[in-house]
Structure 1
Amino acid sequence: MSTRLAAEGLSVVVNYATDGVAAKEAVTAITSAGGNAMAFQGDVADAQKMVALFDSAEAEYGGVDVVVNAAGRLELATVADLDLDVLDALHRTNIRGAFVVAQQAARRLRAGGSYLSFSTSVLGTQVPSYGPYVASKGAVEAITLILARELRGRDVTVNTVAPGPTATDLFLEGKTPEQIEALAKAPALERLGTPEDIARVVAFLTSPEGHWVNGQVLRANGGMV
């Protein structure tokens, strides 16, 4: 996603919590292609870290025009069996983290800018064991829709992308080949989404061409019911 946004001409700050290797690889890919990028380490739920992240972006590039918050945790358990400590950790990243980043975006984005967060199409499919994750993403969607109205008059768009089954490490982890095959057949297009599919949606919604789309949740899922 960061490389696609860089290809659209944006200077990029790649934030990471723990995987510094992947972040540095993304920065190298962008700079090798002639783009501008830097890495920053920060927990999205840590308000001071996120202030420092936005300060760094403004100092390096002169301002903030696009914010994409794709940070998230996934834990699968039935409501009856869920460990509440796991729920707290999940919601710290997925809800508090979403709010912290959205707050900084609301304060810092320049006119013509865009804020984009991530939800999930499982909100509609209601798959058992996804309760804690879906609860957190329902909160993300609500925050997004309210923030779009709160930024009236700023010429800043606020949207959420809600992917369906997408072949990311987070999605594939812990699933059997049979489960993956069944999930791949769920969309009408009969395949898993790819990170590139989602990156194209993100690039559109954060571009001038997508600036008339505001206060929306876009379910990028290949036609899932």
Structure 2
Amino acid sequence: MTVHIGAQPGQIAETVLMPGDPLRAEWAANTFLDNPVCVNRVRGMLGFTGTWQGHPVTIHGSGMGMPSLSIYANELIREYGAKTLIRIGSAGAMQDKVKLRDVILAMTASSLSTPSVGIFRELNFAPCADFELLNAAVASAKAMGAIYHVGGIYSADVFYDERPDLNEIMTRHGILGVEMEAAELYNLAARHGVRALAVLTVSDHLLRHEALPSEDRQSSFGDMVQIALEAAFAG
């Protein structure tokens, strides 16, 4: 057990999918895993472990924002031995070619700041996805006929953004979408020598001011979870 995760030793799989919303973790576990068991309820941050096609998998919430994700990812890696961590979450599109319900596979994650800034100090470290996971996710998305995009994303510190100038710069430089967690996940994966990827579903569009209704969001996220699971166990 840790301060934030109440799972016993052996109850967390080496492969962990991390949605921000703990209720989305519950939905994904019940939808995709065989015999899921709740292994964490501390502070309402739900985690479930079961199997997918015979492979042990944990699906554990990360909360909103990089500081929250950093807590759970650190404990999952350092105390429970997680080796593959895949963020499954939503993103806001920043390019015309990216549509609602499309899937973004994040190759890199830009940010203004992350919890790791204290370690990097003056260094502008470039966090990126694990290539094998990314390559496998592309193959999975292609095979299932999902509409997907591969490229850079932006991990923001705030949800209610008041920097339209920054958004314009991101769009100009080809950033596919914005979310709030992946950059720190990629930092931690690099630091601890584990694999990480962010597979994101577009729920909002910053340029068109469009958004999926709340009742449609959950039903639109199935492709993202399937891609993440297939990528984790490819080969």
Q: Shorter-chain TM-score category?
A: 0.3 to 0.5
Look at both structures and tell me which one has the larger radius of gyration over its CA atoms. 1
Task: Please state which structure has a larger fraction of its residues in strand.
Answer: 2
Q: TM (normalized to structure 2)?
A: 0.37
TM-score, normalized by length of structure 1? 0.38
